[in-house]
Structure 1
Amino acid sequence: MTPFDLPGFDLDAFVAATLAEDLGSPPRDVTSESVIPADALFTGAMDSRDAVTVVGLPIAQAFFRALDPDVEIELLVGEGDKVSAGTDLMRLRGKARALLTAERSALNTVQHLSGIATMTRAYVDRIAGTGATLLDTRKTIPGLRVLEKYATRMGGATNHRMGLWDAAMIKDNHIAVAGSVGEAVRRAVAAGIGQIIVEVDRIDQIEPAIAAGATHLLLDNMPPAVLRGAVTLVGGRVPTEASGGVQLETIREIAQTGVDFISVGRLTQSAPAADIGLDFANA
């Protein structure tokens, strides 16, 4: 079995919880039990029906092995590989009941993560050569953040902060409660926070944020002309990040304004599942 070691992710617990959700209590797959003989063997292949960036095959493998430890599995592509439509991703041979029971959990995972990676790769390719770096966000499905941010990395993006604990991000509501951009930043500095990201949606907030100690500016929902002026005003004193309403059709123009980063929530929030299936044939 190919090792899958992702910091912050417990593969065994994820597989157990996902299968438990599908199998109920007591655990049963009534369809496979009633239709498939206990000693039946199946061979099959997981394949992609579209061109995709593949992510999640080692996790899918873990689902099959959880129900059939003796299953024979051959992974045909690597994590993050771009494949054309019709590509076989995995071949497997084992107990038919077990493979059919694990099928949906395995596919759901690979389809979701590959969908994220495929969308991410399209955005990364669109800004190639501009010098801008694509970031993901915290707009992830609860409980799946580590996996979804892994998928964006496999698609070529860089992870933004993983949670509320690894960097301060001062946004409009924080500013409103604190009273001003400068006061909010000063409080974060006084608290000893090392990385202080500040969201600004007006040009006149830039100087107070930097003067107070911001280490990174998030330029929120600014059109390209305004972004270009903001980048010039910042003058490289801190990294700049464009955010808000970024789409595939607009990201290159945004990147060409000179921002260092562009964050896109839709990578994890709106990516469609990849069209990946699992077809079995009698051994």
Structure 2
Amino acid sequence: MNDQITMKLNMDKLILQALEEDITSEDITTNAVMRESRTGEVDLICKEDGIIAGLEVFKRTFELLDENTKVEFYVKDGDKVKNKDLMGKVTGDIRVLLSGERTALNYLQRMSGIATYTNTVASLLKNTKTKLLDTRKTTPNMRIFEKYAVKVGGGYNHRYNLSDGILLKDNHIGAAGGVKEAIEMAKEYAPFVRKIEVEVENLEMLKEALSAGA
């Protein structure tokens, strides 16, 4: 997430869309009470124990509104934070701080919530061979943020999108006429794919999938 190339190519447009959703023409409330630019400072204070995630997205939200905004953090993604911890300070045009705070906090709160829950589940699997994977069941336009939060929390990313690999589910198997048939069709259509995964519901399906080369 600290990769500036990734940030600009993949995340800037999504953050801008979120800001545009919240500010269609102007922040009429802020502009009503703050007619001129004035520098101010706000504290970023934790309100609940957990794992923090999304700090760079939080920072970038303000920078996209005004590149002169300064953000200083006292924690980093993946740190355990506690209620009332001072996690950072944001300094800049008060109008920018007021207009961008909700979008910035929405990202930070959601990503931290995912990281915290992931960490709770991942800790139950500690000292086992089981790995906790995410899925594609992400919030629209939030996948890059939510999957990053899973990694911060101690989980692992599975497929990012439908082009990343073959995962045959019950509906695919049904359409193909069976596990063996589905795997054979997948191998024929995409022989370059290194891994074909199959969701199975019982041991018989498992044996059939393995014998067919999944």
Equivalent position of 1:260 in the other structure? none
Name the structure, 1 or 2, with higher relative contact order (CA <8 Å, separation 6+). 1
Question: What displacement does 1:102 show?
Answer: 0.6
What does residue 136 of structure 2 align with? 138
* Residue 7 of structure 1: how far off its partner (Å): 7.4
Question: Structure 1, residues 114-144: CA drift from partner, whole Å, max 9, x if none?
Answer: 1111110101111111121110011101121
Task: Among all aligned residue pairs of Structure 1 and Structure 2, give the percentage whose two residues are the same amino acid.
Answer: 35
Q: Distance in 2 between matches of 1:111 and 1:5?
A: 24
Q: Report which stretch shifted further, 84-93 or 9-18.
A: 9-18
TM-superposed deviation, 1:53? 1.0
Counterpart AA for 1:139: K
Q: Which has the higher strand share?
A: 1
Residue identity opposite 1:208 in structure 2: E
Post-superposition CA distance 1:193-233 (Å, at most 9, x none): 3211011102111211111111xxxxxxxxxxxxxxxxxxx
Classify the secondary structure of the residue corresponding to 1:153: helix
With over 3 angstroms needed to count, the CA separation of the structure-2 counterparts of 1:118 and 1:102, relative to structure 1, is same
Mapped partners of 1:156, 1:63: distance in 2: 25
2:199 aligned counterpart, secondary structure? strand
Aligned 8 A contact 2:176 2:182 in 1: yes
Letter matched to residue 181 of structure 1: V
Q: Structure 1 residue 68: deviation in Å?
A: 2.9
Aligned residue among 61, 64, 88 for 2:62 = 64
* Equivalent pairs, count: 211
TM normalised by structure 2 equals 0.92
Q: Structure 1 residues 164 and 126, CA, compared in 2 at 3 Å: closer, same or farther? A: same
Residues 201, 3 of structure 1: CA spacing in aligned structure 2 closer, same or farther, 3 A cutoff?
closer
In the alignment, the residues of structure 1 paired with residue 5 and residue 196 of structure 2 have an alpha-carbon distance, to the nearest angstrom, of 30
Alpha-carbon distance, 1:36 to partner: 2.2
2: CA distance between counterparts of 1:113 and 1:164? 23
Displacement of 1:161 in angstroms is 1.1
Structure 1: unaligned runs, 5 residues or longer: 215-283
Which amino acid in 2 is paired with 1:160? H
1:196 is matched with which residue? Answer: 196
- What is the aligned-residue RMSD (CA, Å)? 1.8
Displacement after TM superposition at 1:51 (Å): 0.9
Equivalent residue, structure 2, for 1:99: 97
Aligned equivalent of 1:243: none
Q: For 2:46 and 2:80, how far apart are their aligned partners in 1?
A: 11
User: Is the 1:52–1:83 contact (alpha carbons within 8 Å) kept by the matching residues of 2?
Assistant: yes
Q: What are structure 2's unaligned runs of at least 5 residues?
A: none
Corresponding letter in the other structure for 2:18: T
Q: Is this contact kept in 2: 1:9–1:147, CA < 8 A? A: no
Aligned residues of 1:42 and 1:93 also touching (Cα < 8 A) = yes
CA distance in 2, matches of 1:187, 1:49: 52
Q: 1:8 to 1:166 in 2, by over 3 A?
A: farther
Give the 3 Å change call, closer, same or farther, for CA 174–5 of structure 1 in structure 2: same
Residue 150 of structure 2 is aligned to residue 152 of structure 1: yes
Which residue of structure 2 aligns with residue 82 of structure 1? 80
The answer to whether the 8 Å contact 1:54/1:80 transfers is yes
Q: Which residue of 2 is the match for residue 23 of structure 1?
A: 23
Q: Is the 8 A contact 1:45 1:88 kept in 2?
A: yes
Give the Cα separation in 2 of the matches to 1:83 and 1:75: 13
In 2 relative to 1, CA 181–80 (structure 1 residues): closer, same or farther, beyond 3 Å?
same
**Within 2, Cα distance between the matches of 1:158 and 1:3?**
19
Aligned equivalent of 2:119: 121
Cα drift, residue 184 of structure 1: 1.0
Structure 2 CA distance for aligned equivalents of residues 74 and 40 of structure 1: 19
The letter of the residue matching 1:195 is: K
- Rounded to whole Å, the distance in 2 between the matches of 1:82 and 1:168 is 36
Contact map agreement 2:14 2:141 (CA 8 A) in 1: no
User: By how many angstroms is 1:8 displaced?
Assistant: 9.4
The DSSP-based 3-state class of the residue aligned with 2:72 is strand
Deviations 1:260-283 (A, max 9, x none): xxxxxxxxxxxxxxxxxxxxxxxx
Which amino acid counterpart does residue 206 of structure 1 have in structure 2? L
**Structure with greater helix percent:** 2
